């Protein structure tokens, strides 16, 4: 049984989808910085959501924490 040759740098997707490349999935140089950035972004989005919901949003957030 013959095996197919590996194609370097390409991740096969499902039928009709384009292959992903390193451009689509960049390598993270410093994971700790990326985690801090994502936590900060999440906090900003959560804060904006709470503000938009007013007192009900704050109450829901407080009860979840």
DSSP secondary structure string for all residues of the chain: ---PPP-TT-B--STT-PPB-TTTSPPPS-HHHHHHHHHHHHHHHHHHHHHHHHHHHHHHHHHH-
Q: Does 53 score more than 80 pLDDT?
A: yes
Q: Does 49 score more than 60 pLDDT?
A: yes
Whole-model pTM over 0.75: no
Q: Does 7 score more than 50 pLDDT?
A: no
pLDDT (mean) for 3-17: 49
pLDDT (mean) for 13-30: 59
């Amino acid at each position: 049984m013959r095996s197919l040759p590996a194609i370097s740098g390409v991740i096969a997707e499902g039928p009709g989808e384009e292959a992903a490349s390193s451009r689509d999935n960049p390598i993270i140089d410093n994971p700790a910085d990326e985690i801090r950035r994502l936590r900060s972004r999440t906090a900003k989005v959560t804060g904006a959501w709470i503000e938009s919901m007013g007192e009900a949003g704050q109450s829901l957030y407080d009860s979840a924490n």
